[in-house]
Structure 1
Amino acid sequence: MLQIDLWKRVLIWLTCVVGLLLAMPNAFYPRVEAHNDAVADREVGIVNENTEALIAGWPSFLPSRLVNLGLDLRGGAHLLAEVKVEDVYAARMTSMWPEVRDLLRGERSTVGTIRQQPGPETELRFKISKPEAIQEAASLVRGLARPVTSITGAGASDIVVRTEGDTIIVELSDAEKLASDQRTVQQALEIIRRRIDEVGTREPTIQRQGSDRILIQVPGIGSASELKEIIGTTAQLTFNPVVGRASDPDASAGVGNKVLPSLDEEGVYYIVEAAPVVTGEELVDAQPSFDQNNRPAVSFRFNPTGARKFGDYTAQNIGSPFAIVLDDEVISAPVIQAHIAGGSGIITGRFSVEESTNLAVLLRAGALPAELTFLEERTIGPELGQDSIEAGRIACIVAFVGVLVFMFLSYGTFGVFANIALIINVGLIFGLLSLIGATLTLPGIAGIVLTIGMAVDANVLVFERIREELKSAKGPARAIELGYEKALSAILDANITTFITAVILFAVGSGPVRGFAITLGLGILTSVFTAIFVTRVLIVMWFERRRPKTIEV
């Protein structure tokens, strides 16, 4: 007997209602988006005269999740950056010199005095005054080696120490360079993500490409140059001892020192020690603030390790200047007036309020481990995105209307039931996309258009099977029941194979391919649900009311 239990009917219609409710905010996209932005601003304390009005523009008891629009629909910026991993090698050698120097000074009676020598940035070169002890000195330095922390470098040391005449040369091993490259790109990727998240942009695409490149796509941002300002600054903050001042950028700095320009004083250069006392990696917080003269500044706080090093240095160097260096520019070079305990301080300079806020964001997100070189940049205007949306909307409408007309002309009343299920199907797709916070792109729209065409395929199989059963002189109720039973296996086989394809596309694809795979996969799930359950409920409800003796499919 053709029937469906009451609890099944309630569950089917409840699923449809929930799905359509989740999809509804997308029909009022600008209003809901403004509501969501206002709520987010209020949570972080940004309130103006329009905030409450925008929040009241959408009822709080209704769902407010939206389908995020991708770069090709919303407009935005596209960057392809290359990470200069060699910078990390040079930084490692620079930071290693104080450790080597202190180690060999403790063995001065054996190796004599030591003096750093010029050489490639990726190498540490130094001589000792007792050449006959060079092998012993090299052996001592090898004792500073640590195991490489990677699976591929298991058992290898992080440094290689060799001698050339009376010179000892230290450099990173090949295994450590490989591991360092992996860490550097991954760290750069995470810091870029944090910096973009701090600005509050929606659904950025940040992913690794190749061994040392990063693809960055941020919808809704004004231009590629604006995006470069957010992520392009290395923001490497260091506190370096000052050796002297100079008016010439080519002044002799000496080995182990470097000449850096002053940001505040034009034509003034500082000679500082290359090895910093404390680095920005030991910062735990940075906030925009104002100095005692009410000028914009940035207050900072170190972690316990950084606080201890900073406190010890200031205690031992009262009366001496030290340089606050950001990306190889001296922001300020104050004289240490007293022991600075507690690990907190303030960075002053010729900042505007916006510059101090941006600097605090960069420092809080962390320093990029190496410089980025931008190989490709594109700005996609919102007008182009709007054109894409219109083109996608037209494609969906044409496909939708074509399928509705075809089904009605082919199957009459049963075609109307299939059309109702198709409308619900599209609503469910957008409801699921909103629920999981997916990003809709042009390939995603193509996936929806394809789903619209495939959605009625299951109904066609059922209706054709019902026709076959009616030809064998079975009653209408039995023909409908057998039509669904015998078509079920074919429906499941066809959709499972397509779903497997969507899963594979998602697993091995990236960017636009994944967008297509998501909408295709969700469309298959909703299509099977509406074809097997929704159209069947509609047909059963119609049959129970009309009780026809014969039916035309």
Structure 2
Amino acid sequence: MFQTQQKLITNQYPAWKYLLLVVATVIGILYAMPNLFGDDPAVQISPVKSVVFNAETEKQVEQTLQKAQLDVKSSVFENGKFLIRFKNTEDQLKAKSLLKDELGRQAVVALNLAPATPAWLQALGAQPMYLGLDLRGGVHFLMDVDMEAAEKKAYERYIDEVKAALRDAKVRYLSVEVENGGLEAKFRDIETEKTGMQVLAGQYSDTFILSSVEDSAAPKVTMRLTDKTVAEIKKYALQQNITTLRNRINELGVAEPVIQQQGDRRIVVQLPGVQDTARAKEILGATATLEFRLVEEKGDPYQAEKTGYAPNGSLLYHFRNGTPILLQRRTIVSGENVVNAQSGIDPQQGSSMVSVTLDGAGGRKMLATTKQNVGNRMAVVYIENRVETIEENGQKVKKRFTTKDVINAAVIRGQFADRFQITGLDSPQEAQDLALLLRAGALAAPMEIVEERTVGPSLGQDNIDQGFMSVVVGFILVLILMGWRYKLFGMVANVALTLNLVIIVAILSMLQATLTLPGIAGIVLTVGMAVDANVLIFERIREELKNSSVQSAIYAGYEKAFVTIADANITTLLAAVVLFSFGTGPIKGFAITLSIGILTSMFTAILGTRAIINIMYGNKRVEKLSI
């Protein structure tokens, strides 16, 4: 009983609580600081696949910039990429154009906004939080996936399989074609049609709904994909297109792109900080495919490049580093036949490889080809069709370009069909890149941009200024009210409120969260809510002072108000969790900042102010409180 009474009147924290508060304050300040330094206009240079930048490239870039007399703030070459910062956007745009012409197709030159965080903060891993589209400016696209085209493409893939199934069963057919929204296999007579129906039903009953048309003039079997299969095809098309878009957007150097599904056939793409919106549209709208061709070993590719003529039956191609190679005219299979591709390590040689899986039709073609070509090389050709905006006679004109690059040429070690490995790769990174291209090199279905919005940097800056002003005004009003109402205790609460804001910003930066306007709204709301706990505590202390000593009143104020504070904050936190679970986009941003604000406000309002009050009044003879 004596120990309890001592605890009530001393109001002293153990040393670890003070230490915890100091550590939290220091970490909060350090990781919130990067947000004060803003961004630098920059140019990001990345090598295309299978190209490696070296000291020569670094010298080439440096000489190009020096020759143009551009004012470079800093230039960093790390992880095989360049990041060159400038003092103004004019130099940035000029440098992008010059470097693109100088480096050609060996590099991707993209505009970017690079954080101006000092090196000593970067060494600690401190980075500014990302700003959303409404704050930083950028582009917003809503893209519609042509699901009808995806379904039609699926039917077309089955044509060769159905023909092969009928041939293997020695059933003679007239044609197998996509007609009337389905697949139709036509036969000479009803007898053959019945046999064909039995064969197809035995193999495709899980994939197709089959029906027989026993018309003596034109007997046929109609095959329509089941609802389950159609749903899987559409889901795959959407996921494949999202993967492809994500891969292409990497070329833009966007720090925090938002690529997400909307409904069952649309994709939202938001690119914060993108200044070159035309380039963004060109990359998103490009279509690509892959081809597997045999290498023409007899001809001389360098001679063909020199003369401009390839030997009969061959075509001249180039690797991405510019090395020429001759390939046979006949295409074995294309990217449409690739079902899956995964990178890995060859257990026999210990080198990097890619495991490829083809569909049925592609597997049969590959088997027939590899039987006769063991020891020869097979090349993978990446073909991209894109639209670029160029200036002609003072007017911007859209032109279509097609690029064909050989991304790999490996030796066929043995005959194979629908499953095989591509070996001879230089590194695990090259294997991962090749697998990614095989999986996501082409769009699974065509897409159309149905909505496009551009948020200019000036509008984004206006949003930042107004959002910042709302936080400052709300913050100052709360500080004034607390100082006037609770005097010295109110000033202590103001210190805790300031610390609360710093910790919120630090946590958002450490999580690399994206701050949007709704997120700022969550912070403003948190500022108002953060003082609720202190109001409850201080009012309780005032009540206790009427019947208790100063030390007892302080102790009772914090202890008895805790349950009420916890209940109020937990219910608000639950509401924020529900908003995050069921909301989308802006709602999630609001819910995240609100949740973080609730947790940090409890820490600073209860532990923070209690620590300061304990230092000021703990274990001291005090007759009156400034509250």
Whether these two folds match at TM > 0.5 is yes
Q: 2 CA distance for matches of 1:203 and 1:522?
A: 21
Q: 2 CA distance for matches of 1:142 and 1:190?
A: 35
Q: Pairwise mapping of residues 350-499 of structure 1 onto structure 2 (< 5 A)? A: 365-472=440-547, 474-499=548-573
Distance 1:93 1:276, change over 3 A: farther
Quote the offset at 1:77 in angstroms: 1.0
One-letter code aligned to 1:66: P
**Match in the other structure for 1:230:** 283
One-letter code aligned to 2:172: G
Quote the offset at 1:178 in angstroms: 2.2
2:177–2:184: 8 Å Cα contact kept in structure 1?
yes
Quote the offset at 1:532 in angstroms: 0.5
Of residues 163, 174, 186, the one that matches 2:212 is 163
Pairing 1:341–2:416 present:
no
**Match in the other structure for 1:350:** none
Of residues 85, 97, 114, the one that matches 2:147 is 85
Of residues 3, 10, 21, the one that matches 2:19 is 10
Secondary structure of the 2:510 match is: helix
Distance 1:39 1:501, change over 3 A: farther
Quote the offset at 1:496 in angstroms: 1.0
**Match in the other structure for 1:141:** 200
Q: Pairwise mapping of residues 302-317 of structure 1 onto structure 2 (< 5 A)? A: 303-305=355-357, 309-310=365-366, 312-313=368-369
Percent identity at matched positions?
Answer: 38
2:291–2:331: 8 Å Cα contact kept in structure 1?
no
**Match in the other structure for 1:192:** 245
Secondary structure of the 2:268 match is: strand
Pairing 1:116–2:176 present:
yes
Q: Render the CA deviation track for 1:1-52: whole Å, top value 9, x for unaligned.
A: 21111122112221222222221211223379999x999974431247769x
One-letter code aligned to 2:539: E
1:314–1:340: 8 Å Cα contact kept in structure 2?
no
One-letter code aligned to 1:82: D
Quote the offset at 1:402 in angstroms: 0.9
Secondary structure of the 1:391 match is: helix
Q: Pairwise mapping of residues 326-337 of structure 1 onto structure 2 (< 5 A)? A: none
Distance 1:422 1:374, change over 3 A: same
**Match in the other structure for 1:295:** none
**Match in the other structure for 1:279:** 336
Q: 1 CA distance for matches of 2:517 and 2:32?
A: 19
One-letter code aligned to 2:571: T
Q: Pairwise mapping of residues 23-102 of structure 1 onto structure 2 (< 5 A)? A: 23-30=32-39, 42-47=77-82, 57-102=119-164
Distance 1:76 1:438, change over 3 A: same
Q: Render the CA deviation track for 1:465-505: whole Å, top value 9, x for unaligned.
A: 11111122x22111111111121111111111111111111
Unaligned 5+ residue runs, structure 2? 1-8, 47-72, 87-114, 295-316, 318-328, 344-352, 387-399, 414-420, 424-432
Aligned length: 477
Q: 2 CA distance for matches of 1:462 and 1:371?
A: 61
2:259–2:270: 8 Å Cα contact kept in structure 1?
yes
Which piece of structure 1 moves more, 358-367 or 393-402? 358-367
**Match in the other structure for 2:583:** 509
**Match in the other structure for 1:201:** 254
2:31–2:506: 8 Å Cα contact kept in structure 1?
yes
Quote the offset at 1:180 in angstroms: 2.1
Quote the offset at 1:315 in angstroms: 7.0
Secondary structure of the 1:367 match is: coil
1:67–1:439: 8 Å Cα contact kept in structure 2?
yes
**Match in the other structure for 1:353:** none
Which piece of structure 1 moves more, 405-414 or 126-135? 126-135
Q: Render the CA deviation track for 1:182-236: whole Å, top value 9, x for unaligned.
A: 2322332233233324543122222222221112212111255433322222323
1:78–1:224: 8 Å Cα contact kept in structure 2?
no
Which piece of structure 1 moves more, 21-30 or 277-286? 277-286
Of residues 205, 210, 227, the one that matches 2:263 is 210
Quote the offset at 1:302 in angstroms: 7.1
One-letter code aligned to 2:488: T
One-letter code aligned to 1:163: S
1:444–1:512: 8 Å Cα contact kept in structure 2?
yes
One-letter code aligned to 1:119: E
Quote the offset at 1:98 in angstroms: 1.5
**Match in the other structure for 2:188:** 129
1:79–1:224: 8 Å Cα contact kept in structure 2?
no
Secondary structure of the 1:236 match is: strand
One-letter code aligned to 1:135: K
1:198–1:361: 8 Å Cα contact kept in structure 2?
no
2:142–2:267: 8 Å Cα contact kept in structure 1?
yes
Quote the offset at 1:132 in angstroms: 1.8
Secondary structure of the 2:255 match is: coil
Secondary structure of the 1:63 match is: coil
Quote the offset at 1:521 in angstroms: 0.7
Q: 1 CA distance for matches of 2:604 and 2:34?
A: 22
1:403–1:453: 8 Å Cα contact kept in structure 2?
yes
Which piece of structure 1 moves more, 514-523 or 41-50? 41-50
One-letter code aligned to 1:12: L
Q: 2 CA distance for matches of 1:379 and 1:223?
A: 11
Quote the offset at 1:280 in angstroms: 6.8
Which piece of structure 1 moves more, 447-456 or 94-103? 94-103
Q: 2 CA distance for matches of 1:461 and 1:79?
A: 47
Which piece of structure 1 moves more, 425-434 or 21-30? 21-30
1:83–1:185: 8 Å Cα contact kept in structure 2?
yes
Quote the offset at 1:423 in angstroms: 0.7
If the length of structure 1 is used for normalisation, what is the TM-score? 0.75
One-letter code aligned to 1:548: V
Which piece of structure 1 moves more, 84-93 or 511-520? 84-93
Distance 1:436 1:278, change over 3 A: closer
Pairing 1:183–2:228 present:
no
Quote the offset at 1:434 in angstroms: 1.1
2:75–2:82: 8 Å Cα contact kept in structure 1?
no
Secondary structure of the 1:518 match is: helix
Distance 1:332 1:483, change over 3 A: closer
Distance 1:15 1:56, change over 3 A: closer
Distance 1:13 1:531, change over 3 A: same
One-letter code aligned to 2:412: A
Q: Render the CA deviation track for 1:370-424: whole Å, top value 9, x for unaligned.
A: 1112211111111111110000111111111111111111111111111111110
1:444–1:519: 8 Å Cα contact kept in structure 2?
yes
Distance 1:10 1:63, change over 3 A: same
Quote the offset at 1:163 in angstroms: 2.6
Quote the offset at 1:181 in angstroms: 1.9
Q: 2 CA distance for matches of 1:59 and 1:21?
A: 7
1:323–1:333: 8 Å Cα contact kept in structure 2?
yes
Quote the offset at 1:544 in angstroms: 4.2
Q: 1 CA distance for matches of 2:356 and 2:626?
A: 81
Which piece of structure 1 moves more, 422-431 or 275-284? 275-284
Secondary structure of the 1:394 match is: helix
**Match in the other structure for 1:21:** 30
Distance 1:490 1:99, change over 3 A: same
Unaligned 5+ residue runs, structure 1? 147-156, 242-263, 265-271, 287-300, 346-357
Q: 2 CA distance for matches of 1:486 and 1:440?
A: 36
One-letter code aligned to 2:176: Q
2:341–2:438: 8 Å Cα contact kept in structure 1?
no
2:42–2:85: 8 Å Cα contact kept in structure 1?
no
Q: Render the CA deviation track for 1:317-372: whole Å, top value 9, x for unaligned.
A: 99xxx9987669996999xxx99737879xxxxxxxxxxxx999976743221111
Secondary structure of the 2:143 match is: strand
**Match in the other structure for 2:613:** 539
Secondary structure of the 2:338 match is: helix
One-letter code aligned to 1:29: G
Secondary structure of the 1:235 match is: strand
